[in-house]
Copies of this chain bind each other. A is one copy, B any other.
Amino acid sequence: MTGAATNMRMKLPITCLILQIILIILFGTIVQYDDETDAKEWHEHLHNGSKDADNDFYYRYPSFQDVHVMIFIGFGFLMTFLQRYGFSSVGFNFLIAAFALQWATLMQGFFHGLHGGKIHIGVESMINADFCTGSVLISFGAVLGKTSPVQLLIMALFEVTLFAINEFILLTLLWAKDAGGSMTIHTFGAYFGLMVTRVLYRPNLEKSKHRNCSVYHSDLFAMIGTIYLWMFWPSFNSAITAHGDDQHRTAMNTYYSLAACTMSSYAFSSLTAHDGKLDMVHIQNAALAGGVAAGTAGEMMLTPFGSMIVGFLAGIISVLGYKYLSPILEEKLKIQDTCGVHNLHGMPGVLGAIVGAVTASLATPDVYGKGMEDVFPQIANGEFTASAQGARQAISLAVTLGMALLGGLLVGFILKLPMFGAPSDAICYEDSIYWEGGHFEAFKNIF
C-alpha cells in the first residue's frame, strides 16, 4: 500500500534532525531569558521594588496553558473527524506545532526587536509562538490528508517566517491592533493554506473520496477538539492584551460572541438541511467562528451586545459557507479545502478584521477614558485620529490577504517538489502509509 514516494525513512528523520539542530544552534547563539525569567535580572527588579506577584507569569500563564490546549488538543482533535486519518491528524499536528513554536520564537523575536543582538523570551513570547503555530495549523487544515509530514514541516518553515513579517508590518509598521489575530492568525493562515491547496490541486482526488468522511466515533473525537477550542477561545483572544480591564473585557466579549455563534450555527445547520437534521461538520466548525470574528475587536469596547451580533453573523456566514460556497470553490476554483478553513477561519477572519476597523474608527475618549492608552495608544497620545486607526486596520486586512495569497502561491510551488514525498491521489486521507500497526489491516473493514 505504501509506495516509494511516501517512504519517509530518510526524508522525515533528516528533515526533523536538521531543523532541530539548526534551532538548537540558533537558540544557543541568540536567545536569552528575559528579565522575568532570568534569576539575576528578576532579583534586580525585586531589589528595586517589584514583587514576585508582578511577574508576568501570573498574569498570563493560565491563559498560555489554555492557548496551548487549543493548539495541541483543539486543532489536533478537531481534525480527527476523518475515519482513517486520526493518527496523522493528531500526530502531524503535534509534530509541526513542536517545530513551529520554536521557529516562531526566533522569527517573532527577530522582528519584535532584539535586545543587544539577543532575543528575550518569556511567557508572552511563548504565547506569541503558539499563536503563530495556530496559523500554520489552520493551513494544515486546508491540506489535511494530502500532504506528507515533510511537506508540512517545510510549509511550517516558510509560513512562520511570512507570518512574522506580516505581523511585523501590521503591528509595528501600521500600528494596527489584532490581539486575538483575526487578521494575523486566522485570515493569514486560512488564505495561505487555501492558496497552497490550490497549487497542490489534485484532479484525481476522487480516488480517495471514500476515506474523506467521518465515522461515528471519529466525529466524537473531533468534538473534543471543537469543545476545547470553543471553551478556551476567550483565553486565546485575551492572552496578550494589556493587564487588567483589557484581558477581562476581551475574554468576556469572546465568551458572548461564541455563545451567540453557537445558536446561529445550530439554527442554520438545521435550516439548510432538507430534513432539518443537524450536520456535525457545521457544529464542529461554524460554532467556533464567533471566536475568530472577535479576534480583533474583542479587546475594544465592543460591548457584549456588539460581540453577540458579531458572533451571530459569523455562525451564519460559516454554515452558509460550508453548505454553498465550499462546493463552488472546489468545482470552479479547484480549491480542495479538507477542513473547510475558508468557512471557519477565512471569512470569519475577514469579518473580524472589518468589525475591528469599524470599532476602532468609532473609538472616543468618552467611552475609553484613560483606558485608551492601553487599547489605542496612538489615539490616546494624539498621533492618530480614530478614523486613521480604523483605516490602518482596513489596510492591515488588505496587506494580510496579499501576503497570505502570495506566500501560499510561492510555498505551494515549493511543496510540489517531488522529494517531499506527497502521497498519490489514491492514498490520501490514509494513516497506514505513515504509521505502523497490524491493526490497520485487521480493522480496515470496520473503521
Contact = CB atoms under 8 A, between A and B. Distances in A.
Interface in A1-33: 2, 7-14, 16-17, 19-20, 23-24, 27-28, 31-33
A273 to B, nearest CB: 6
A425 to B, nearest CB: 20
B94 A262 contact: yes
Interface stretch (A178-186, A187-195, A297-305, A391-399): A297-305
A42 interface: yes
Contact of A214 (B42, B264, B268, B437): B437
A223 B90 contact: yes
Contact of A37 (B7, B223, B245): B245
Interface in A418-447: 433-440, 442-443, 446-447
A283 B91 contact: yes
Contacts of A44: 369-370
A39 B280 contact: no
Interface in A58-117: 58-59, 61-62, 65-66, 68-69, 72-73, 76-77, 80, 83, 86-87, 90-91, 94-95, 98-99, 101-102
A374 to B, nearest CB: 7
Interface string A278-290: 1110010001000
Interface in A355-386: 366-372, 374-375
A438 B72 CA distance: 29
Q: How many copies does the complex hold?
A: 3
Interface stretch (A157-165, A168-176, A225-233, A343-351): A225-233
Interface size bracket, A side: 35 or more
Contact of A39 (B41, B90, B309, B372): B372
B305 A31 contact: yes
B214 A245 contact: no
A37 B252 contact: yes
Report, nearest first, the 9 A-B pairs whose CB atoms are least far apart.
A39-B371, A40-B369, A9-B276, A52-B244, A42-B245, A98-B262, A43-B370, A16-B267, A28-B305
Interface of A: 2, 7-14, 16-17, 19-20, 23-24, 27-28, 31-33, 36-44, 46-47, 52-59, 61-62, 65-66, 68-69, 72-73, 76-77, 80, 83, 86-87, 90-91, 94-95, 98-99, 101-102, 121-123, 126, 149, 213-217, 219-221, 223-224, 227-228, 230-232, 234-235, 243-249, 251-252, 255-256, 258-260, 262-264, 266-268, 270-271, 273-280, 283, 287, 301, 303-305, 308-309, 312, 366-372, 374-375, 433-440, 442-443, 446-447
